[in-house]
Amino acid sequence: MLSGKRRLGRGIAVVGAGMSRFGAFKDKASRDLFVDAFVDMQKSVDKGLDITDIQSIFVGNFSSDLFEGQGHLAPMMAEWVGLNPCPATRVEDACASGGVALRQGVLAIASGLYDVVLVGGVEKMTNLPTERVTDALAAASDVLYEASAGFTFPGLYAAMATAYMDKYGLGTEPFMHVAIKNHKNGGLNPKAQFNTSLKDLLEARKVRARDRGQPVPEWKTEMDFLNDPAANPLVAWPMRLFDCSPITDGAACLLLVAEEIAGNFTDRPLRLIGSGQGSDSSLLTRPDITTIGSARVAARQAYEMAGVASSDIKIAEVHDCFTIAELIATEDLGFFAPGEGAKAALEGRTARDGERPINTSGGLKSKGHPVGASGVGQVVEIWHQMRGEAGDRQLRDRDINLALAHNVGGTGNTCVVHIFERR
Ligand code: COA
């Protein structure tokens, strides 16, 4: 296993970042979403981008084969944004496909082979009905021992949630606090699939019921709403509807360059200073399913490479595919001690005005989870926050000089962590 401090062969800078809107788009295919993200990224490059400067492209995508009946996606994405004949490679590591594509882009520049690399991620999931999406996603679990025993992804994370509740003597309240926070953040993100806070959503539903002459629900708070099984039905106990990330279409793009040429693109680059990746077994053979070993390994590598500690990180986008996953992530990344992630969520310490804002974008929970794009989309949020361009959700009262992205594949069979610095 990788041990000791590793460093990149060359410095890496992020000089552009963009994304499509995330949501359900009947009339758009992967290629349309990718073009939207690419154009948004191109506009973000302060000094302009001549696309003939791009030397290679890495595309995170979990399964366009199953979702759209279209394999071999990377050269097609290259074609649609006018990059042929530059080499185009698809990267698949389940929901971590985007984060691992980023790491491949980093390694390609650090090796000295390329100076300018496009990293993208894309997934078009809503062509299929929910039950078929669930089956397709289950291909990212252990099909021999997990899917064949009836586990779906909500079921696998539900197992982690029950183990966590049992170990720390908790109910479901901390999960609900994660959902409230992330929907509140997503309400400030115009590109989020759910661009509404739960407070606004419940008020809108009351108005709808009144207009239709139906009984008006008596919810006063978000907790009333989340505790109402009619509004927030069970998916796999204890995970309810609002504990789950949605089924999403979307794409995101980043422009990476060798640090020494970053000034050709912008005077305000982000430096990518830490990268780590780990793997873990299926849930059934893990000694403890209240933590993700690959995340701990990836975080340790990234912190060591960056020369920073978890306490130095100002904001993080973490992989909240289910609310339980955010709690576990904040512990695996060292922000809180084991079992304390739940307490921190309850106390609002991970809210936008808390000591350690987590998922200011709305996270996968509210922004949406187009699985192959999610890891790249996380860095788009970091780009905006670090450059002070996050609009209504911009954190204004702090200097965001260090940020972290944490992207998980499966139940943690893969995890990749990246750390960014703004000087
Ligand atoms: N959170 C909150 N609301 C959601 C939602 C979610 N995850 N998914 C759907 N909704 C809302 C819809 O907007 C819709 O609201 P409306 O009635 O006001 O229009 C309503 O719930 C029904 O939507 P629908 O698409 O019919 O839901 P569904 O029952 O088919 O799917 C889930 C809901 C939770 C099963 C689905 O989102 C899911 O499978 N999520 C997990 C995806 C996953 O496993 N990803 C990989 C993670 S590792």
- What digits encode the pLDDT tens for the residues 368-387? 999 999 999 999 999 999 99
Q: Please list the residues that pair with 317 across neighbouring strands.
A: 405
Which residues lie across from 101 on neighbouring strands? none
Distance (angstroms) between ligand 1 centre and the Cα of 320 equals 15
**The pLDDT of residue 4:** 65
Please enumerate in sequence order all residues whose Cβ is within 8 A of that of 169, keeping only pairs 6 or more positions apart, or say none. Answer: none
Separation CA 258–CA 12 (nearest Å): 5
Tokens of 403: 């940020």
Q: Which candidate, 101, 13, 100, places its Cα nearest to that of 57?
A: 101
Provide the residue type at 244 as one letter: C
Residue to substitute in 202, 203, 225, 245 for testing ligand 1 pocket (most ligand atoms within 8 angstroms of CB):
245
Which atom of ligand 1 is the closest one to the Cα of 133?
39
Calpha distance 68→57 (Å, rounded): 21
Q: What confidence tens digit (pLDDT) does each residue in 338-374 have? A: 999 999 999 999 999 999 999 999 999 999 999 999 9
**Nearest by Cα to 327 from 362, 361, 302, 290:** 290
Pocket of ligand 1 (CB under 6 A): 95, 130, 134, 137, 153-154, 235, 241-242, 244-247, 321, 369, 371
Helices (H), strands (E): how many in the chain? 14, 11
Query: Across the chain, which distance is largest between two alpha carbons, in Å?
Result: 67
Q: Please tell me the distance between residue 178's alpha carbon and the centre of ligand 1 in angstroms.
A: 17
pLDDT bin (cut points 50, 70, 90) of residue 397 is: confident
pLDDT at position 1 is: 55
Chain-wide mean pLDDT for the chain? 97
Catalytic residues: 95, 369
State the pLDDT at residue 330.
Answer: 98
**Per-residue tokens: 85:** 């004949």
What domains appear along the chain, each with residue ranges and CATH number? 12-129+246-421 (3.40.47.10)
Q: Tell me the one-letter amino acid at 174.
A: P
**pLDDT of 242 above 70:** yes
- The four Cα atoms 382, 387, 390, 392 give a dihedral, to 10 degrees, of 140
pTM exceeds 0.95 for this model: yes
Query: Cα 42 from chain centroid?
Result: 21
Q: Helix crossing, 323-332 with 173-186: angle to 10°?
A: 90
Q: What's the whole-number mean pLDDT along residues 260-274?
A: 98
Per-residue pLDDT tens over the stretch 106-148: 999 999 999 999 999 999 999 999 999 999 999 999 999 999 9
Q: Could you tell me how far CA 96 lies from the centroid of its own chain?
A: 8
End-to-end CA distance of the chain: 32
**Cα 202 to the chain's mean position, in Å?**
26
Query: Is the pLDDT score of 3 beyond 80?
Result: no
* pLDDT of 2 over the 70 cut: no
For tokens 């993700």, name the residue: 292
Q: Give the DSSP letter of residue 363.
A: H
Q: Ligand 1: distance of its center to the CA of 12 in Å?
A: 37
39-72 tens-digit pLDDT: 999 999 999 999 999 999 999 999 999 999 999 9
Q: Is the dihedral of CA 110, 93, 155, 285 positive or negative?
A: negative
What are the pLDDT digits (tens) for 283-305? 989 999 999 999 999 999 999 99
**pLDDT of 84:** 95
